[in-house]
Structure 1
Amino acid sequence: MDFKHLRTFQTAAQTLNFSETAEMLGYVQSAVTAHIRSLESELEVRLFDRNGRGVRLTYEGQQLLDYADRLFALRDEAEQAIKRGKDITGNITIAGYESLLTYRLPQILKRFVDAYPQVRLNVVPLAVKQLKTQVLNAQIDIAFTMEQSTHVNGLEQLRLRCEEVNVIAAPSHPLAKKKCVTANDLVNETLLFTEPGCSYRALFEHNLMKAGVFDKPKLEFVSVEPIKACVKMGMGIAALSRVSTERDIAQGRLAKLDWQGDDLSVNLHMVWNSKRWLSPAVKAFLDVTQSFYDGSELV
């Protein structure tokens, strides 16, 4: 459908006068008539009833006018949003766990950079225990965390989604084929842990302590990738976020155990300083992220 023809129709529907429409749009009257007839031919309906006293909209014409008004309003809104995006400048420092920055953030960054090309982004991987402290100290603008919802004075948290956690082993490991794996099955296993302060590590440890296996041999890592590499080599069992392991599981490089212990799922949050002035760039990033995760909620 030609937008030029649609604009002619919209104006004619508002004025109900083809001569006035032609004058307003800078056309000759025959051009207005041609645009209307083109639309009627394309849609196979009559848009106007014509009589000696003038014209009036048909039922189909009124329907098309409603859509035309919405289409042009949406087009104007899009143009204004893009122009605003070009006008917003500044710097934003974003931090998070390495796995979140790797597996969750890129799509959000792409959407934001497309909308706000003049904003400079600084993305920093940080240890779990540093994230909220640095937000409170205004060292970073926005942090992404995976944890159970907790309130911290001075921080605003937006829950974005639930993050499932997989208990994993090498595909050749005997537990890979076992049904109903519990903490008791890990009594003689070497355990590979993420860094202290990691929320799903704490949940995993709690399961192990209840079964009396927490004092078993363990390895501790700051990064998720070395854990996965060690698990693939058969060095032990680990609990990691689903998003960081699903590709390796699908490709047969890791095995997801049939974990029947307590649920290890946590929430993905976006966190910022509630007492600090938010720049237009930071506000825009918060809006883009919230719209990306439809259904997110403040906690």
Structure 2
Amino acid sequence: MLKRSGHGVRLTPEGTEMLDYALQIIELANKAESRMKNVSEGRIGYIRIVTLPICRNELSECLKLFSIRNPGVQVDIELLEGKELIQKALQKEADFYFATDEMCDAAAIGNYHKIKEECLYLFANTEDTRFFDMNDWSTLTEHPFISIYQSDTILYNKINAICHKRGLIPNIVGYFNRADSALISVNAGVGKVIFPPDYLQMANNLKIKTYPIDGDDALMNYVVGWDSNNLSLAARNFLSIINELYGEMA
């Protein structure tokens, strides 16, 4: 698995292949240890939740009520972006998914409640904003964009559809996989980016001006989804909180 040389130690091809499995085993062992500890302390229930960062306030409201009414239940929460969240949902690795309706549809999660609706924003360097008009997207043509990777297909396709509907073919000069790296590039004047409003506060501390994008095509519907065929008692109790806060599904 390891090969030693005068330059140090490195993984063999077999070791590289084995590494991911080893990390998964360690993660599973840590989860098992944590779960057994909680069981020994009287925490008999267990639910798993995956959420987008932008849904953390809605999740917090649910958890606040749930923890008061179900103090003996262990709750594991994982914060993920779009592509990784969809993969978790496809593999049914959690009980609840705080995501967008399109993500739940892509992962065949048929049960969900809408929890909020928000528009996307254009984030641009304050110097660049002197030269374009948000009411006329043709003025954005000369100014480059940066974008998420195409592998995050739902948001990538939505952003491109927004541009194309407004007659703009974005000149994309760079791609990113993290929001903070994208905002650093915008702050440096490398290009503009279209983002959910979750990053407005971060942008306030930078040389960035933000603009809400008008139109139904720029709206993002955020939901909490679940698999109704595989809910434990603890998960059903959490679902009752969701129904209470966001209304029973018709």
| Shared fold, TM over 0.5 | yes
Instruction: Tell me, in whole angstroms, the C-alpha distance in 2 between the residues paired with 1:269 and 1:227.
Output: 25
Q: Number of aligned residue pairs: give it.
A: 206
Q: Which has the larger radius of gyration?
A: 1
Show structure 2 runs of 5+ residues with no match: 1-41
Give the match's secondary structure for 2:190.
coil
Asked if the contact 1:89/1:119 (under 8 Å) is kept, the reply is yes
Q: Write out aligned runs for 1:189-208 (5 A).
A: 189-195=143-149, 196-197=151-152, 199-208=154-163
Instruction: Tell me, in whole angstroms, the C-alpha distance in 1 between the residues paired with 2:71 and 2:84.
Output: 29
Instruction: Tell me, in whole angstroms, the C-alpha distance in 2 between the residues paired with 1:143 and 1:262.
Output: 24
Instruction: Tell me, in whole angstroms, the C-alpha distance in 2 between the residues paired with 1:163 and 1:179.
Output: 22
Q: 1:217-250 CA distances to partner (integer Å, 9 max, x unpaired)?
A: 24333332322233223222111112x1332466
Q: Write out aligned runs for 1:51-62 (5 A).
A: none
Instruction: Tell me, in whole angstroms, the C-alpha distance in 2 between the residues paired with 1:206 and 1:170.
Output: 23
Q: Write out aligned runs for 1:221-260 (5 A).
A: 221-242=176-197, 244-248=198-202, 253-257=207-211, 259=213
Match of 2:68 in 1: 114
Match of 2:24 in 1: none
Match of 2:134 in 1: 180
Instruction: Please report the TM-score for the alignment, with normalisation by the length of structure 2.
Output: 0.66
Instruction: Please report the TM-score for the alignment, with normalisation by the length of structure 1.
Output: 0.57
Tell me the amino acid that sits aligned with residue 229 of structure 2. Answer: K
Instruction: Tell me, in whole angstroms, the C-alpha distance in 1 between the residues paired with 2:216 and 2:192.
Output: 16
2:128 equivalent to 1:164: no
Q: 1:11-36 CA distances to partner (integer Å, 9 max, x unpaired)?
A: xxxxxxxxxxxxxxxxxxxxxxxxxx
For residue 213 of structure 1, the aligned residue among 169, 179, 198 is 169
For residue 281 of structure 1, the aligned residue among 201, 226, 234 is 234
For residue 291 of structure 1, the aligned residue among 231, 244, 250 is 244
- Does the C-alpha gap of structure 1 residues 141 and 222 become closer, same or farther in structure 2, counting only changes over 3 Å? farther
2:51 equivalent to 1:96: yes
Over the aligned positions, Cα root-mean-square deviation in angstroms equals 3.3
Tell me the amino acid that sits aligned with residue 160 of structure 1. Answer: I
Show structure 1 runs of 5+ residues with no match: 1-86
Indicate the percent of aligned positions where both proteins have the same amino acid: 17
In terms of fraction of residues, the more strand-rich structure is 2
Instruction: Tell me, in whole angstroms, the C-alpha distance in 2 between the residues paired with 1:115 and 1:221.
Output: 41
Asked if the contact 1:207/1:262 (under 8 Å) is kept, the reply is no
